[in-house]
Chains A and B, each alone.
Chain A
């Protein structure tokens, strides 16, 4: 079963790459772009048929490795 995870920076944490992308978009005449936050996306293939169990495993993975909870939040989608 494939589980998808999105890791994003927490609100308030500086995202210089997001800022650079926003400024570039503004420079390309996408003037209405007010903010960009860059994140990470994972597709994890888990050998598990029960969706609840698979998601709970991935949740553990997020806490232990995929996200650093000092600056990042994660969402299992």
Chain B
């Protein structure tokens, strides 16, 4: 499976993502934001970081980069687009995903492990995933997902909520919500479920000695579903 990771000025999880993708057998390439086209890919990843220093609004400047038109065309033709953290923020600013990531409710930068519940498995990312609750890592200041009531209803009706913050046993409530996100939302899909944006970093959970391996499950699952 061929993948491309787009690098923006200020991306800082691009190489972690490259390491993770290659570890599980993706043929990965790095693509600079100023390029006009993306090499032939089956998956495009917008990595985490602080593109353009989070100026104006997180992801807003990157969402107007030269390369983004190709990303939007790729997504609209059904290609898999994964945005992690700042990548999720960029995807909402392009309009590929609904809503926006606001500043965390308690104004703090959060860097910690969290549990997320996989809410939908009828998609190419989570289909046949063996676990329902994953332990992943978050590191963000703007992860407080917000959207209008109409958008929320449509996300719920179409099963576009991908992952939600929860406890180790899967319980969801205010105490398992780190940033104030509406309905504990940690990640969402577009209508066709080929575009996934999420705040947690699976690429930081690919080594049992360093962190954990629930991220490994995520990447292996994408590969398994592609075969």
Contacts and interface: CB of A to CB of B under 8 A. Distances in A.
Contacts of A71: 100, 102, 146
Given A13-B146, A16-B105, A16-B107, A70 B100 contact: yes
Contacts of B146: 13-14, 70-71
Q: How large is the interface on A (under 10, 10 to 19, 20 to 34, 35 or more residues)?
A: 10 to 19
Contacts of B144: 14
A13 B92 CA distance: 17
Q: How large is the interface on B (under 10, 10 to 19, 20 to 34, 35 or more residues)?
A: 20 to 34
A12 B144 CA distance: 15
A13 B90 CA distance: 20
Contact of B60 (A16, A17, A20, A68): A68
A71 B144 CA distance: 12
B24 interface: no
27 contacts: A13-B146, A14-B102, A14-B105, A14-B144, A14-B146, A16-B103, A16-B104, A16-B105, A16-B107, A17-B103, A17-B107, A20-B107, A65-B56, A65-B64, A66-B56, A68-B57, A68-B60, A68-B93, A70-B92, A70-B98, A70-B99, A70-B100, A70-B146, A70-B147, A70-B148, A70-B151, A71-B100
Interface of B: 56-57, 60, 64, 92-93, 98-100, 102-107, 144, 146-148, 151, 180
